[in-house]
Amino acid sequence: MPDVGWGFIGASTIAREHMVAAVRAQPGHDVVAVASARRERAEAFAAEHGIARAYDSVHALLADQAVKAVYVSTTNERHCEQVLAAAAAGKHVLCEKPLALSVDDAQRMVAACRDAGVVMATNHHLRNAATHRKLRELVAQGAIGRPLYARVFHAVHLRPLVQGWRIDRPQAGGGAILDIVVHDADVLRFVFQAEPVRALAMCQSGVMAREGIEDGAMAVFELDNGVLAQVHAAFTVPHAGTGIEIHGDRGSLIGRGVMTAHPVGDVLLRDAQGEHAVPVVHENLYAGGVARFSEAMRGAGRPAATGEDGVRSLAAALAVAEACRTGASAPAGVHMRPLSDAA
């Protein structure tokens, strides 16, 4: 019996490729159950990963006494209901981004977990990248002077394996904004320790995604520290490469190849002394997230991205969607709901 048994809600690609191993990398943690809407998918996933129990309902998984924490990685429209049920069952919750399809639902999820006294975290994995942690540290130390601008390069080509609902089911919360821009907003919040206040944006669709679902977006956020941040996110661009640039009045930081699921990429500092490589020690982004979640469960720390972070980053992404729709700037901040407002 592991110290911490995890129940996986969702027999998903991210669970298969990253999260089973991330949980098992944590001493005393194991995945003991998986639930899928389809029994055969749950059973196949369990067999593939040596998971003891497979369920065809979330409620059956939540009734499993060996499950202390759940990881929710179903399609986006299911996160809210499943997290509310997990909180009601007293399970700690690590939920995929975007937390929900609306800020209101996301706030209900956070409030329900707080009221139930369970830890809630959002799987914004990029906060666990050694590169992003170094960028945050250098910005805070004043390495570039006063931060003024950022540019996030996150135009990628969506693998056929994960195209599905992302490009053809608007009701599942597909599209590049909820899939990618939400991460970019979270990275900006993390690196600058500042909040987006408004967004301007334009979108593209119909290249890969069904007409009406954006498969690319260009946005500009204004942050509450005065920084202007440009974001380019797309499903349709195979050769752009990813990265982030942060420009201040005394220097610039360049993160090359860093907007990814993998522990790769490098950081450069360019200033009056020239260009210097900044050393980073890479570590698995998802294992790092589970490690921090585990500390929070022991009452010894905070998750890398809390539920509240998930709400704020979702609000920023939805502001981009709103700005695309209206052509006007949209407010990107959010007032967090007080406790005991989960109804």
- In the complex, the smallest distance separating the C-beta of residue 260 from ligand NDP, rounded to whole angstroms, is 9
Are 94 and 70 in contact by the 8 Å Cβ rule? The answer is: yes
Which of 3, 13, 48, 171 is in the footprint of ligand NDP by CB under 6 A? 13
Structure tokens at 134: 């170094």
What is the CA 240 to chain-centroid distance, rounded? Answer: 22
Q: Which residues, listed in sequence order, are joined to residue 268 by a DSSP beta bridge?
A: 254, 277
Which of 73, 82, 128, 284 is in the footprint of ligand NDP by CB under 6 A? 73
Q: Scan residues 33-52 and list those touching ligand NDP (CB under 6 A).
A: 36-38, 41
Of 60 and 228, the one with the shorter C-beta distance to ligand NDP is 60
Check binding of 331 to ligand NDP (CB under 6 A): no
Of 147 and 303, the one with the shorter C-beta distance to ligand NDP is 303
Of 93 and 144, the one with the shorter C-beta distance to ligand NDP is 93
Structure tokens at 295: 């500390």
Cα–Cα distance, 280 to 171 (Å, whole number): 40
- In the complex, the smallest distance separating the C-beta of residue 97 from ligand NDP, rounded to whole angstroms, is 6
Of 4 and 317, the one with the shorter C-beta distance to ligand NDP is 317
**Size of the chain in residues:** 343
Site string for ligand NDP, 185-224 (x = CB under 6 A): ----------------------------------------
- In the complex, the smallest distance separating the C-beta of residue 75 from ligand NDP, rounded to whole angstroms, is 5
Of 123 and 252, the one with the shorter C-beta distance to ligand NDP is 123
Task: Provide φ and ψ at 62, rounded to 5°.
Answer: -70, -20
Check binding of 96 to ligand NDP (CB under 6 A): yes
Check binding of 11 to ligand NDP (CB under 6 A): yes
What is the CA 236 to chain-centroid distance, rounded? Answer: 20
| Cα separations in angstroms, 110 against 10, 92, 253 | 20, 12, 34
Check binding of 75 to ligand NDP (CB under 6 A): yes
Check binding of 10 to ligand NDP (CB under 6 A): yes
- In the complex, the smallest distance separating the C-beta of residue 14 from ligand NDP, rounded to whole angstroms, is 4
Task: Provide φ and ψ at 158, rounded to 5°.
Answer: -70, 125
Cβ contacts of residue 53 below 8 Å, gap of 6+?
32, 33, 34, 46, 61, 64
With DSSP H G I counted as helix, E B as strand and the rest as coil, what are the percentages for the chain, rounded to 5?
40, 25, 35
Q: How many helices (DSSP H) and strands (DSSP E) are in the chain?
A: 12, 15
* Contact range with ligand NDP by CB under 6 A, out of 4-12, 109-117, 200-208, 295-303: 4-12
Size of the residue set binding ligand NDP (CB under 6 A): 21
**Listed residue (94, 116, 131, 95) closest to 295, CA to CA:** 94
Cα–Cα distance, 323 to 187 (Å, whole number): 20
- In the complex, the smallest distance separating the C-beta of residue 137 from ligand NDP, rounded to whole angstroms, is 22
Cα–Cα distance, 189 to 185 (Å, whole number): 6
Site string for ligand NDP, 117-136 (x = CB under 6 A): ------x-x-----------
- Using CB under 6 A, list all residues that contact ligand NDP: 10-14, 36-38, 41, 73-76, 96-97, 123, 125, 162, 164, 179, 261
